[in-house]
A and B are shown apart, each in its own frame.
Chain A
Amino acid sequence: DTAVSQTPKYLVTQMGNDKSIKCEQNLGHDTMYWYKQDSKKFLKIMFSYNNKELIINETVPNRFSPKSPDKAHLNLHINSLELGDSAVYFCASQLTGRTGELFFGEGSRLTVL
């Protein structure tokens, strides 16, 4: 079974549309993240939730709205999509403990035309 799963894996849409990406983890972790990886491969943190509570909110346009219905799910909704939103969006789940290593989902590649 996939530990961190994201849907959809690929998303092609027009500018101005609204879209959502969903993430689920079955690892029993308390903390989940959304990262954006652009064409230059830089991993940029967007949001982090711990037990459904928002704990990290980086400087992200308010067109991006995360939602965590429970600690196993973290969804990302994007309004009024722009060309610059094209990227791979990774969901990650964090193991609490000595290392705090991240377990990443396979990524959702968003292309805005």
Chain B
Amino acid sequence: GQNIDQPTEMTATEGAIVQINCTYQTSGFNGLFWYQQHAGEAPTFLSYNVLDGLEEKGRFSSFLSRSKGYSYLLLKELQMKDSASYLCAVKARRNAGNNRKLIWGLGTSLGVNP
């Protein structure tokens, strides 16, 4: 089966660093996405990893280990506006119709306290 696991909820303090983990088991792998979704809004793209290692983009960084089926999203210098749900999604193998599909995690709801 195909499965993506993330913690359901996390809380952190403004100015701190938080790491949100994601583990996956999928039929094939062709990249991993992180999306941010504020309450009542659409998901927005944060990062994409297809090779092992760390990708840094401002206060946000994303790490991938394909051999371990593991990724994390690192948020530094947390701000109140970072309170949102963070969704991990894996681009899996092509299906019989030769199309790749995104397998989504349930998301991690992050609360940032002052």
Contacts A100-B31, A107-B42: A55 and B99 contacting too (C-beta < 8 A)? Answer: yes
Closest chain A residue to B97, Cβ basis: A55
Contacts of B42 in A (CB 8 A): 90, 104-107
> Are the CB atoms of B97 and A56 closer together than 8 Å?
yes
Report yes or no: A41 in contact with B85, Cβ–Cβ below 8 A.
yes
* Interface residues of A, count at CB 8 A: 21
Are the CB atoms of B101 and A45 closer together than 8 Å? yes
Q: How far is the CB of A90 from chain B (nearest CB, A)?
A: 6
Query: Size range of the interface on B?
Result: 20 to 34
Q: Which residues of A contact B85 (CB under 8 A)?
A: 41
Query: Of the candidates A41, A98, A104, which one forms a contact with B107 in the assembled complex, judged by CB atoms under 8 Å apart?
Result: A41
Q: Is the CB of A101 within 8 A of B99?
A: no
Asked whether any CB of chain A lies closer than 8 Å to the CB of B66, the reply is no
The residues of A with any CB-CB pair to B shorter than 8 Å are: 40-45, 48, 50, 55-56, 90, 98-107
Q: Which residues of B contact A (CB under 8 A)?
A: 31, 33, 35, 37, 41-45, 48, 50, 85, 87, 89, 91, 95, 97, 99-102, 104, 106-107, 109
Given contacts A41-B106, A41-B109, A101-B33, 5 further A-B pairs with CB under 8 A are A45-B101, A55-B97, A56-B101, A98-B50, A100-B91
Top 6 A-B pairs ranked by shortest CB distance?
A104-B42, A99-B48, A101-B45, A43-B104, A55-B99, A104-B43
